[in-house]
Amino acid sequence: MAFSSVLTGTALGRAAVVLRESHCEQQSRRRRQAHICCSSVATAEQVRTGLKRNENIGKLQAGYLFPEIARRRRAHQDKHPDAKVISLGIGDTTEPIPKLIADAMQKAAAGLGTLAGYSGYGAEQGRGELREGICNAFYSSCGRKPHEIFVSDGSKCDIGRLQMMFGCEQRVAVQDPSYPVYVDSSVIMGMTGNYNASTTSFDNIEYMVCQPDNDFFPDLSKVAPTDLIFFCSPNNPTGAAATRQQLTELVAFAKKNGSIIVYDAAYALYISDDNCPKSIFEIPGAEECAIETCSFSKYAGFTGVRLGWTVVPEQLRYADGSPVIADFNRIMTTVFNGASIVAQAGGLACVQPEGLAEMQQLVHFYKENADILRQTFLDMGFKVYGGKNAPYVWVGFPGKPSWDVFADILEKCNIVTTPGSGFGPAGEGFVRASAFGHRKDILEAVERFKKAYGKQR
C-alpha cells in the first residue's frame, strides 16, 4: 500500500513536471512570436519620441574600453569553451577585503536591522568622523582640512560630477595615454570637437604626450594653455609616478595659465619612491590650482563596495573670486545622497592604524604580482615600464597595433590584457598588464607568456 502510494505520488509528480514544461514551452513560444511581431512593427513604423539625442554621445567612436574588452573575451570563450582565460585586463581587485574592514561593514549592516542601529539619509558630504579620518591618514602634512573632503561612491563618479560642475565651455588637457573617462566624459559634456580619424583623437582636446622618451611626463613648453588639466599619478595605464620636480613644474604651469588641475591619486598608496609625492598637495601652491580625487577601491578591495573622496581646497577660486568648494558642495547635495552607510563604516575602519596596516599588506601583495610580471617581460627581452610604483606594467610591442597584440595574446595564451591605444593615441604599440589577480593565476600567466613568446631579440 505504501509502495503503491509512493509510486502514484512519483507518477503524479512527473506528470506535473511535464505539464509545467509544456506550459513553459507555450509561454516561451508566445514570447518569441510577440517579439517577432513587435520587431516587425518597430522596423516598419520606426516609432520614435520627439526628443533629440545628445549629439555629443554620438561622437564617441565605440563602446567604453573595458566593456569592449569584456565583449571580446566572451567571444573568445565561446570559441574556446574549455579554455581557462586569465584576466590581466581591467584593473579589478581579486583578493578578499581585509578582515578588520569587512567586520566593520558586517557590524554596520547588522545594526541597520535594529531599532537602535538604524539610520537613514546621512550627510551628502560624508560622515564627519570619516572625513576627519581621511584627512588625518592621508593629508596630515599637506595642510588640508576635513571640511574640504567630500566622501563619495568613487573617483570615477566624482570626475563626472566635476565635469557637470565645470560645464561645457571649458577646454581640457589630458595625459596621453590616460584613463579613458577623462576624454569620454569631456566628449559627452560637449567640451570637444569631433573625432579625427587621421589623428585617432578628438579635436579641441590638448593631448599631453607621455612616452618613454620624455619619461612619461609631458613637455609643458609644447602644451597649449587650457582651463582644466586631468593628471593621474601613478599614471593609469603606464604606471609612471611623477616626481616632486615634475609636479612642481605642473603646478607652476597651471598657476601661470589660470588652469585647474584635476589630480587623480587613485594609486598613490602604491608609491614607494620617496621622490614621488602621494598627493598633489605636497607641492606648495597646489591648493590654489588643484582638486584631488582618490578611492579605497585599489587600497582595500572596494571596487564593488564603492567608496572614494574628492578634496577641494577652500583656497581654490574661480576667475570671479568665488570659491570652487561652494559649487562642488552644491553639486554633491543636488545629485548625490551620500555614500552607503555600510561602505562608510568600512572606510572608517580603513583609516584606523590597524586598517591602514591591512591595506598596506594588500597593496604589497599586488605590488609583488607587478614585480613578477615586470621581471618576466624584462627577462624575455621586452621594453617594460611601470610596475614599481603602480599595479600596472606597460609593455612595448613597437610597430604593432595594440588591438592586434591584444588579440594575439588572447589567442596564444588565453590571457586578457588591455590594448594601449584604448588609452589614447600615444598608447599605440603598447599593452597594459594588470597586477590585480590571484598569485597562482599570475604565476601561470607568466609561464604562458614564456611559452608563447620566448626570448625576444
DSSP calls for 262-301: EEE-TTGGG---TTS-SSGGGSTTGGGTEEEEEESHHHHT
Q: What would the pLDDT profile of 5-26 be if each residue is shown by its tens digit?
A: 333 343 434 444 333 444 444 4
CA distance 405 to 431: 7
Q: What percentage of the chain has pLDDT greater than the value 90?
A: 86
Q: What's the angle, vertex CA 106, arms to CA 105 and CA 109, rounded to 5?
A: 85
Q: pLDDT band for 46, please (50, 70, 90 cuts).
A: confident
Query: Exposure pattern of 79-89 as b/e (b: 16+ CB <10 Å)?
Result: eeeeeeebbbb
What does the alpha-carbon distance between residue 424 and residue 416 come to, in Å, rounded to a whole number?
19
Predicted local confidence at residue 64, as pLDDT:
75
Q: Look up the CATH number of domain 99-352.
A: 3.40.640.10
What the block records as the C-alpha cell of 270 is 602604491
Fold matches, 64-96+356-453 and 99-352: no
Query: Phi and psi (nearest 5°) for 167?
Result: 85, 175
Strands 260-264 vs 290-295: parallel, antiparallel or unpaired: parallel
Q: What pLDDT is attached to residue 19? A: 37
Torsions phi, psi for 194 (to 5 deg): -85, 165
CA dihedral 240, 244, 248, 249 (to 10 degrees): -50
The single-letter DSSP state of residue 203 is T
How many Cβ atoms from other residues are within 10 Å of residue 295's Cβ? 26
- Give the per-residue pLDDT at 63: 67
pLDDT at residue 455 in the model: 81
pLDDT tens, position by position, 256-286: 999 999 999 999 999 999 999 999 999 999 9
List pLDDT tens digits, range 173-197: 999 999 999 999 999 999 999 999 9
Summarize pLDDT for 304-326 with one digit per residue, the tens: 999 999 999 999 999 999 999 99
pLDDT of residue 11: 40
Nearest to 407 by CA among 394, 421, 419: 419
The single-letter DSSP state of residue 420 is G
Question: Residue 58's closest CA among 222, 220, 198, 192?
Answer: 192
Q: What percent of the chain has pLDDT over 70?
A: 90
Could you tell me the pLDDT band of residue 230, with boundaries at 50, 70 and 90?
very high
**Least confident span in 37-46, 208-217, 274-283:** 37-46
The total of other beta-carbon atoms located within 10 Å of residue 383's CB is 15
The cell 590650482 sits on which residue? Answer: 289
- Give residue 3's pLDDT band: very low, low, confident or very high (50, 70, 90): very low
Residue type present at position 29: R
Phi-psi region of 282 (alpha: psi -120 to 50; beta: other; left: phi over 0): alpha
Between CA 436 and CA 450 the distance in angstroms is 20
Least confident of 35-44, 89-98, 415-424: 35-44
Q: How many CB atoms lie within 10 A of CB 401?
A: 14
The Cα 23–Cα 109 span in angstroms is: 41
Q: Is 167 helix (H, G, I), strand (E, B) or coil?
A: coil
Q: Pick 31 or 203 by higher pLDDT.
A: 203
pLDDT of residue 44: 64
Q: Which residues pair with 294 in a beta bridge?
A: 309
pLDDT at 2 over 60: no
What is the arithmetic mean of pLDDT over 85-94?
A: 94
Whole-number Cα distances in Å, 449 to 270, 409, 433: 25, 8, 12
Return the pLDDT at 283: 98
Quote the mean pLDDT of the chain.
Answer: 91
pLDDT exceeds cutoff 80 at 36: no
**Rounded-to-integer distance, Cα 423 and Cα 428, Å:** 9
Q: What pLDDT was estimated at residue 139?
A: 98
Positive or negative torsion for Cα 149, 153, 159, 164: negative
332 phi and psi angles, rounded to 5 deg:
-60, -40
Yes or no: say if 310 and 317 are a contact pair by the CB < 8 Å rule.
no
Locus of grid cell 537602535: 116
As a whole number of angstroms, the distance between CA 321 and CA 140 comes to: 27
Count H helices, E strands: the chain?
A: 13, 15
Cβ-proximal residues to 81 (8 Å cutoff; 6+ apart), any chain: none
Q: Tell me, what's the pLDDT at 345? A: 98
CATH 3.10.150.10 fits 64-96+356-453, yes or no: no
Would you tell me how many other CB atoms lie within 10 Å of the CB of residue 409? 24
Cα dihedral 9, 11, 17, 19 sign: negative
In this predicted model, which residue has the larger pLDDT, 457 or 444? 444
Bridge partners of residue 80, in order along the sequence: none
For the cut 60, the answer to whether the pLDDT of residue 376 exceeds it is yes
Amino acid 66: pLDDT: 84
Where residue 35 falls among pLDDT bands split at 50, 70, 90?
A: very low
More confident residue, 111 or 14: 111
Neighbour order of strands in the sheet with 228-232: 149-152, 308-311, 290-295, 260-264, 228-232, 172-176, 205-209
Domain edges within the chain: 64-96+356-453, 99-352
Say what the pLDDT of residue 43 is: 58
The C-alpha cell at 337 is 545622497
Give the predicted TM-score (pTM) of the model: 0.89
245 bridge partner residues: none
